[in-house]
Amino acid sequence: MARRDPLIFISEELTAEQHAAIAGIAPGARLVESSELASDPALVERIDICYSSLPPALWEKARNLSWVQLKWAGVETTLGLPQVMAHSAAITNVHIHGNAVCEHLWGMVLMLTRNLKGAVTAQAEQRWDESLRNGLATIAGRTLCIVGFGAIGASCATVGKALGMRVVGIRRHPAASASADLVVGPEKRLEVFAESRIIMVMLPDTEDTRAFIGREELAVMNGVFLLNAGRGRSIDTPALVDALHAGRVRGAGLDVTDPEPLPQGHPLWAMPNVIITPHYAGDHPGYDKEAFSFFLDNLGRWVRGEPLRNIVDRRSGY
């Protein structure tokens, strides 16, 4: 059944063009911002839709709320609120990070395998350091393991295949993929980790994924390059430090850490075989525009009474 005239709470400033785009899809929509809610608190009870986040204090009062469109993929902070879990509103996220994360992770891989981090340091110091020839690693003919084999993982797998790698994906519900040579379940991870040269981790933060790579998993690795662009808690950080010292992990590229931000003085900062970026692997030019376009598509679906895209499963946490 088609729906009309929603009250839409907008948590960020929109351009005139964006206002017009919403009006083109839902002509009778009324848009309210935070300042209006502050001056007229009763409006909260009439909100139908929210973009791009609803403050925690408003969830219990937003009794008419049917849908919240987030502008990011991670939902653990939102789902961590009891009032959110108790609410019936649909929550949708966006999956617009694939290309950027793929480029980011492969950039880290090549920095590590070709000693480019050391070369950049030597260049800054104006040193011609021929010792950088030592310790290079090759990846063609080796195994790439992607932990959390979804859309982003498939993009990374395509690059791995182009570089001549064998690709194995790990996901909760294994299914054959044209992007991978093999896809297995989490119970096979020790076997796959033992034969991998590169491991890329792209897991959400759920009870099942925390410390997914712990001491037992790190113990079977044999000189791997370990990359993480999912959530920091997927990897046991103290165990990772020990594995780096022992050489079981030859190098690490971390866009996320546990804790995050990584505190000053943490041993990972000083390791020459570790690259750390401050959780921006998925960012790219035009991100906000793409997220808003996704919201507009879902808004059209809401108005027409059609199923929304990317509904978050509260039970699974993503």
Q: Which residues are marked as active site?
A: 231, 260, 279
Rg (CA), the chain: 22
Decide if 172 contacts 224 (C-beta within 8 A).
no
Distance CA 309, CA 318 (A): 13
Distance CA 216, CA 318 (A): 26
Residue with tokens 């920091």: 232
For 222, how many CA atoms within 13 A lie in the half-sphere containing its CB? Answer: 9
- The helices-and-strands tally (H runs, E runs) of the chain is 11, 12
* 3-state helix vs strand vs coil in the chain, percent to 5: 40, 15, 45
Q: Which two tokens stand for residue 176?
A: 């054959």
Single-letter code of the amino acid located at 96: I
Instruction: Please state whether beta strands 143-147 and 49-52 pair in parallel, antiparallel, or not at all (unpaired).
Output: unpaired
Nearest Cα neighbor of 201 from 128, 258, 246, 162 is: 258
Q: Which two tokens stand for residue 185?
A: 């379940």
Say whether the peptide bond before residue 278 is cis (omega within 30 degrees of 0). Answer: no
Taking the CB of residue 15, how many other CB atoms lie within 10 A of it? 9
